[in-house]
Amino acid sequence: MHERGCSHTWLNRVEAQFTALRAGEPVSVPTSTTFMQAINAGTMSATAWPLVREGLDAAVAVSDALAMAAHKLLNESGVTAGPAGAATLAGAMHALSGG
């Protein structure tokens, strides 16, 4: 899998998702603490897996620092968003910057 572009909202601690995409099936991996705790999953959802497998063209993982910067930008712009929501913006900004 080529990891560029934007996924749904599974950004940063997405090792389970990247591993599942590479393996062709859901897998479980260890997780760690992250700013985006709401999307910190160690196992790819069995319900989401068929949609991800068939509908995802690319994915990008972002750091906590990028997600925090996006969170700050959203809040300064008057947009109320949590860390997981900011991760989507961080992923789009990272992909569009060629990162």
Tens digits of residue pLDDT in 23-77: 888 888 877 777 776 777 778 788 888 988 888 777 777 888 888 999 999 999 9
- 66 in a structural domain: yes
Q: Which domain holds residue 48?
A: 15-96
**Who has greater pLDDT, 15 or 52?**
52
- 45 in a structural domain: yes
pTM higher than 0.75 for the full model? no
Could you tell me if residue 24 is left (phi over 0), alpha (psi between -120 and 50 degrees) or otherwise beta?
A: left
- 27 in a structural domain: yes
HEC string for the chain: CCCCCCCCCCCCCCHHHHHHHHHCCCCECCCCCCCCHHHCCCECCCCCHHHHHHHCCCCCCCCHHHHHHHHHHHHHCCCCCCHHHHHHHHHHHHHHCCC
Number of folded domains that form the chain: 1
